[in-house]
Structure 1
């Protein structure tokens, strides 16, 4: 092992890691890398596009020194939401083989001090950052991002999530590790000197299921936390978003190879047999499972993978209550952009907009529900009109059936359509699935309509829902959170009593509450190091990114004591 190189990385990344530790402790905003594209050279953007195109139509080797093996099986079926096949294939390996490799590698990996593992992982994050615009373009064509969102969600913000996890595990490890000597007497006996040493060990093999919407942002917290804790990790990518995970693992392996650390501390498990993923989750060596994705498989994991600690982030939606505001124009702007951005495919995008019959109260008057509906539609049109290329704002739809689901909602008896979803043809990507927002007012008296708007709909449709009073509104929010999944709550109010009520219910539901967000800080945004993600309660999630429990799960405490 190249200890000299590891020490050099410790020195090189010491300042960044110290700042990350401080941000983890204080939760004050911290950005290890700029998330403003103007701070980067345009040539980097072009180079990222060029490197992405060079990957198309060929096998991707993730090992630093690939070796040709007889009877290798390769597979891959990724298709860009912008309308073309990537043609990239990945090596398919038996999970049992990967688990054996992981066990062997972990025996050496866990022997490194947590500070050394942290330094190595900081070097990985730094190299991922050097590939920022490659990942931005990859995000476009595996997850339907616009370029700017790919730059954020699949690159710089994901890199910050990785660093956050490294710092979180390092902080927890230091808290749990100590050594001391102390006198001790048993009964009436003579005092004796006793030494105690408390140390941490990795929980075991970590299995990470990555989603498609934000594959790196969603997978990096569990991946980097497990690696920092000394666990080996195997990552299962979404079948249409393999490339960002494969490139990440390729980078980790390259860094490990440079210092003689076993590369099998991390591997990609990809299969063209869906049943293989369930079998992998039940493997007796798997001790940790991180999952981000749909509710059905997440619930299956919770019910069946009893040998592992299962941590899930599942389908969810975000509700907004519009009670009163001191900035009506800023509120409209915030909501309209949220309904348009990435076709509202994030679980943090506003999907249900709740109002009361008296309308939205202002400091000097009131806006009726009908006027608000007209104003919101007009503001959506304004937001759309600012973009010469709507794909930059809307991105592309991931689920081929999303538009038909939206049309079904628009045609439902409960629906009064305020704005119809419209298909957009992009001249550069004529096969892309690009759709403008649908806005639907829910007619009163259709109690069954809740089953349509309470579940997450992966596409640009939002509902204006009028409840007779605050008590009924809070009851429905609680029901949706418990049985369908609410990840976030938005609130616009000038009334401290209403704010108090929503604070209480958001804590019960484990939902992130955003109060009076206006203009260009959006409800859907989540600031790494400051904001948590997932509330550990209700149907949406049973774990929280950025919480101590998320890191503690990957470590177990050991004790050794000696009579001196």
Structure 2
């Protein structure tokens, strides 16, 4: 900055702590005209409610979803979902949380898969991805906040455990592998609330259109940055694309 003729202090870093938070003090300071925030919906909502005289941009939490209607590559689909759930232990704003699967199962290149088989396939793919300790540590990284471990423990009671979360054997590091739970469509209090960290739900829905309807409603009502759809039916894909676009969420198909 100085080499380009700017005051070096034009860019400053002011880290705070839970005990001595600075964000509210800085955001409300009269010299501040623009606030660009990434983080929780609770604080994002506070900023938008209290900074009426400033320009405010917020990128907040949400519930990212996947709908599995059918697939032409069951193993590859499970592997991709496993990676998405594991990457940085689900602590990114793009991490999926809620996976909608028809209760009667889906058609795949390996034949019909029941709901339980789809859930088990994703769980097995997570196990395979994390089977090598060095790779697991590189993919998962560390758990930033100890509160996330508490959240994982509490989430175990929200559904049937398909795959439990566990710590890696890495000395001095706080770690956790993904927790995968199976729930019913009516359990919205569990799967439609953001559960920050490596926590995911496989939700039994009536059929694929029901899954798309629930996923797009979640994007509208809870917010979302990413959404995914797996389907071998072109008409189904074509019908889903505008629904996701209207919900304001970026959609990937058969990734």
Summarize deviations over 1:80-134 as a string: whole Å, max 9, x none.
Answer: xxxxxxxxxxxxxxxxxxxxxxxxxxxxxxxxxxxxxxxxxxxxxxxxxxxxxxx
Is residue 145 of structure 2 the alignment partner of residue 404 of structure 1?
no
Summarize deviations over 1:497-555 as a string: whole Å, max 9, x none.
Answer: 221232122212211101111xxxxxxxxxxxxxxxxxxxxxxxxxxxxxxxxxxxxxx
Summarize deviations over 1:408-450 as a string: whole Å, max 9, x none.
Answer: 22223xx111111112221xxx232111121110045xx3x32
Structure 2 CA distance for partners of 1:259 and 1:401, relative to 1, 3 Å? closer
Q: What residue number does 2:181 align with?
A: 440
Structure 2 CA distance for partners of 1:512 and 1:402, relative to 1, 3 Å? same
Is residue 117 of structure 2 the alignment partner of residue 371 of structure 1?
yes
Structure 2 Cα separation of the partners of residues 423 and 331 of structure 1: 25
Q: What residue number does 1:261 align with?
A: 6
Greater length-normalized contact order (CA 8 Å, ≥ 6 residues apart): 2
After superposing the two structures, state which structure 1 stretch, 298-307 or 389-398, moved more: 389-398
Structure 2 Cα separation of the partners of residues 267 and 401 of structure 1: 28
Q: What residue number does 1:319 align with?
A: 65
Structure 2 Cα separation of the partners of residues 471 and 326 of structure 1: 18
Summarize deviations over 1:349-371 as a string: whole Å, max 9, x none.
Answer: 22111111232223574222122
Q: CA deviation at 1:275?
A: 5.9
CA contact (8 A) 2:88 2:139 kept: yes
1:423 alignment partner, SS class: coil
Q: CA deviation at 1:389?
A: 5.5
Normalized against structure 2, the TM-score is what?
0.90
CA contact (8 A) 1:467 1:473 kept: yes
Structure 2 CA distance for partners of 1:270 and 1:351, relative to 1, 3 Å? closer
1:494 alignment partner, SS class: coil
2:194 alignment partner, SS class: coil
Q: What residue number does 1:348 align with?
A: 94
Structure 2 Cα separation of the partners of residues 363 and 393 of structure 1: 28
The count of residues paired between Structure 1 and Structure 2 equals 254
CA contact (8 A) 1:486 1:509 kept: no
Structure 2 CA distance for partners of 1:337 and 1:276, relative to 1, 3 Å? closer
Is residue 244 of structure 2 the alignment partner of residue 506 of structure 1?
yes
1:462 alignment partner, SS class: strand
Structure 1 Cα separation of the partners of residues 203 and 167 of structure 2: 25
CA contact (8 A) 2:88 2:140 kept: yes
Q: CA deviation at 1:471?
A: 4.4
Is residue 143 of structure 2 the alignment partner of residue 393 of structure 1?
no
Q: What residue number does 1:492 align with?
A: 230
1:361 alignment partner, SS class: coil
Q: What residue number does 2:203 align with?
A: 465
Structure 2 Cα separation of the partners of residues 279 and 340 of structure 1: 35
Is residue 38 of structure 2 the alignment partner of residue 295 of structure 1?
no
Structure 1 Cα separation of the partners of residues 16 and 129 of structure 2: 42
Higher-Rg structure is: 1
Structure 2 CA distance for partners of 1:344 and 1:270, relative to 1, 3 Å? closer
CA contact (8 A) 2:68 2:208 kept: no
Q: What residue number does 2:166 align with?
A: 422
Q: CA deviation at 1:302?
A: 0.9
Structure 2 CA distance for partners of 1:390 and 1:474, relative to 1, 3 Å? closer
Q: CA deviation at 1:463?
A: 0.7
Structure 2 Cα separation of the partners of residues 343 and 300 of structure 1: 27
Aligned residue runs from structure 1 range 39-118, under 5 A = none
Q: CA deviation at 1:321?
A: 0.5
Let me know the Cα RMSD of the aligned residues: 2.2
Structure 2 Cα separation of the partners of residues 478 and 491 of structure 1: 11
Gaps of 5+ in 2: none
Q: CA deviation at 1:267?
A: 2.4
Structure 1 Cα separation of the partners of residues 200 and 216 of structure 2: 19
Summarize deviations over 1:357-406 as a string: whole Å, max 9, x none.
Answer: 23222357422212222222222211111343632121111121222222
Normalized against structure 1, the TM-score is what?
0.42
